[in-house]
Amino acid sequence: MAASQPLDAGNSLIAAVRSALLANSALAGMLVGNRVMTWAPSSCPTPYVQIAHRSNDWSTATEDGQEVVLDLNIYHQPASQTPEAGTARAIMALCRQTLHTASLTLASPFKCTLIRVTNEIGPYRDPDGATLHGVVTVRALVDHT
């Protein structure tokens, strides 16, 4: 039977995703200071990954669950004025490679039953004219165990 308390797997999933991304040495080496975070200060050096999330109830009559959608926002300001999206694209590809169908261990009482990269956008130039911004969207289904 479904639990009476609302389920919130967002923080547990973000922690597992962050650990998986930083365990990829190629990706971690590309990010300034291994920056994978949920909130970036406005003066944060690039490249970095900022994680935003939203969730939907995925419960049944007998089990609690959540669909969690993560947007991995990749930010990069190339050193030159020449438009160059190579670094941002490489980071996006490594995020996809690391997370698509990954086996993630979440903190109890959560279990990630499915994780897929569902969408990629960009990179495109942000309104500041200097920052390249790409988005990798990840969908995960999480059970309450």
Structural domain includes residue 110: yes
Give the domain CATH number at 52: 3.30.2000.30
Range of the domain at 91: 10-144
- pLDDT tens string, the chain, 145 residues long: the values are 455 455 689 999 999 999 999 999 999 999 988 899 999 888 889 999 999 999 999 888 888 899 999 999 999 998 876 556 789 999 999 999 999 999 999 998 999 999 999 999 999 999 988 899 999 999 999 998 7
Structural domain includes residue 106: yes
- Check: CB of residue 34 under 8 Å from CB of residue 45: no
- Which candidate, 69, 49, 78, 61, places its Cα nearest to that of 3? 61
What was the pLDDT predicted at 6?
58
Distances (CA, A) of 138 to 60, 63, 96, 115: 22, 23, 9, 7
What was the pLDDT predicted at 78?
87
